Structure 1
Amino acid sequence: MDPKGQIAIVTGSGSGLGRAVAQALTRRGARVVGIDLPPRDGAAELLELALSLHGDVADAAQMEPAFARVDQELGCPTILVNCAGILGPARVFQIDRETGEVSPRAMDRLRRVIDVNLTGTFNTIRLFAAGLARGNPQVALDGADRGVIVNTASVAAYEALSAQAAYGSSKAGVAAMTLPLARELARYGIRIVALAPGTFETGMVGDIPDHTRRRLVEDVPFPNRMGRGDEFAHLALACIENQMLNGSVLRIDGAVRMREPREALA
């Protein structure tokens, strides 16, 4: 699928990987719709988007009217790139530093990570795919792409560190649903792939302790650095344009295999 002239939705477009993908698609001539939470600092949107919407991808009540608005104002989207995600540690239990009391971790933090990363991804997929099927209810027999979905998994889907049980399982879910969704949507000419980035320069990296961040970068064989948003966007565009990429999870990580920092084991 040539992005030029296509209507593309990018979630998490306000920063990081989503912003890089939105910029890349815009440069390629796509009409890009960005969906993200309202910026915390109230900064104005700097991207030249066809439409900018604020909303929580995990909330069906917010995403349903958002997708309906896209269809009404621009037309049926044919590209969906899901980059919205949060890190959010979720240790099994916590110890009070003053009293030494041990208590199980509250469930709300785990639920929020799963809701955004996994449920939110599925939420946008169901709306995107239904819109395409509604416009083209017949089985696709011409071999042409009708729609392409690119999701964001993570190497943490395979090698999550301690305190990443919520994040790792949410990203493992994104990876695991890639093939069954590709099989389900194939008859409608809709492809779906997932990208599994390693350590990239995003705002999320700021939530990782310094010693863990240093070790993650040190462990990257080559190139021995963090990935850049434009490199992720480049691969996302390749997935959109290459029709044989379907039902797969592609690692983009410099050959890193995450290992537990010794400080975390002490």
Structure 2
Amino acid sequence: MDPKGQIAIVTGSGSGLGRAVAQALTQRGARVVGIDLPPRDGTDPAALPELAMAIQGDVVDAAQMETAFARVEQELGCPTILVNCAGILGPARVFQIDRETGQITPRAMDRFRRVIDVNLTGTFNTMRLFAAGLAKGNPQVALDGEDRGVIINTASVAAYEALSAQAAYGSSKAGVAAMTLPLARELARYGIRVVALAPGTFETGMIGDIPDHTRQRLVADVPFPNRMGRGDEFAHLVLACVENQMLNGSVLRIDGAVRMREPRGVSA
């Protein structure tokens, strides 16, 4: 699929990997719709020059996404590219220890649920709307071998090697990776491909949520190149997935050959 002239939806477009993807698709001639939560710094996402349309919304909210996709179809047309970059880290240890009393208390469930909701449920929420829209426009089985649509989701190397306190994040990203193949098989008859990318340590706002000693170890463990990844490198792979028809049903690691290991000194 040539990105030029396509309508693309990018979630998490306000920053990090999503912003880089939105910019790259725009440079290749796509009309990009960005979906993201209201920015923390008060900036207006509609001011981002690369976006044909900016929509504020929570990918977890079914009604909000239904409204967003309906608006895109009405004002621009049926989207043919979906890139899911919306995600949160959110530590979720099983229990916490009071440093003064030593008392052990089970963690509340809300933080775990939120990570699963955003990273996994939110990804599925946008995919179901995207795929249904394309299927309605192409009800017949795709026998001509042409791409009707491409879905690219963001998993993580944490899907395979999550660290301590990443039970929620790791399991959410493992879910994104695990649903890639069954969804690719389900949507094949409509000419819709499904791919997931599993980035390692990248320069995004999320990396700031990781403790300094853990972040330093993660970067130090990257064999080559021995640095954090850049958003434009992730976006470059997104473009390759859009353009290469044989990329389907696969999870591609983009991590500099890192295999995450537990930093020393980890405590509850």
TM-score tier by shorter-chain length is over 0.9
Deviation track 1:155-211 (CA, whole Å, cap 9, x = no partner) reads 000000000000000000000000000000000000000000000000000000000
Q: Which of 236, 239, 255 in structure 2 is aligned with 1:237? A: 239
- The residue aligned with 1:76 is 78
Large movers: runs of 4+ above 3 Å: none
Deviation of 1:92 (Å):
0.1
Counterpart contact for 1:70–1:77, Cα < 8 Å: yes
- The CA distance in 2 between the partners of 1:99 and 1:264, in whole Å, is 19
- The residue aligned with 1:225 is 227
- The CA distance in 2 between the partners of 1:262 and 1:108, in whole Å, is 28
Q: Which of 90, 104, 107 in structure 2 is aligned with 1:105? A: 107
Q: Which of 116, 121, 135 in structure 1 is aligned with 2:137? A: 135
- The residue aligned with 1:21 is 21
Deviation track 1:215-259 (CA, whole Å, cap 9, x = no partner) reads 000000000000000000000000000000000000000000000
- The CA distance in 2 between the partners of 1:42 and 1:217, in whole Å, is 31
- The residue aligned with 2:153 is 151
- The CA distance in 2 between the partners of 1:249 and 1:230, in whole Å, is 19
- The CA distance in 2 between the partners of 1:132 and 1:48, in whole Å, is 24
Deviation of 1:40 (Å):
1.3
Deviation of 1:48 (Å):
2.5
Aligned with 1:225: secondary structure? coil
Counterpart contact for 1:139–1:187, Cα < 8 Å: yes
- The CA distance in 2 between the partners of 1:198 and 1:229, in whole Å, is 12
- The CA distance in 1 between the partners of 2:194 and 2:214, in whole Å, is 32
**AA in 2 matched with 1:205:** I
Residues 118-197 of structure 1: matches in 2 within 5 Å?
Answer: 118-197=120-199
Counterpart contact for 1:4–1:29, Cα < 8 Å: yes
Deviation track 1:57-105 (CA, whole Å, cap 9, x = no partner) reads 0110110000000000000000000000000000000112233221100
- The residue aligned with 1:34 is 34
- The CA distance in 2 between the partners of 1:265 and 1:92, in whole Å, is 12
- The CA distance in 1 between the partners of 2:44 and 2:195, in whole Å, is 32
User: What is the TM-score normalised by the length of structure 1?
Assistant: 0.99
- The residue aligned with 1:88 is 90
Aligned with 2:20: secondary structure? helix
Structure 1: give runs of 5+ residues left out of the alignment.
none
- The CA distance in 2 between the partners of 1:215 and 1:259, in whole Å, is 9
Counterpart contact for 2:22–2:50, Cα < 8 Å: no
Aligned with 1:264: secondary structure? coil
- The CA distance in 2 between the partners of 1:149 and 1:251, in whole Å, is 16
Counterpart contact for 1:211–1:263, Cα < 8 Å: no
Aligned residues, how many?
Answer: 266
- The CA distance in 2 between the partners of 1:85 and 1:44, in whole Å, is 20
Counterpart contact for 2:201–2:229, Cα < 8 Å: yes
Task: State the identity %.
Answer: 89
- The residue aligned with 1:208 is 210
Aligned with 2:197: secondary structure? strand
Counterpart contact for 1:183–1:247, Cα < 8 Å: yes
Deviation of 1:37 (Å):
0.1
Structure 2: give runs of 5+ residues left out of the alignment.
none
Aligned with 2:266: secondary structure? helix
**AA in 1 matched with 2:39:** P
Deviation of 1:42 (Å):
1.1
Deviation of 1:264 (Å):
1.5
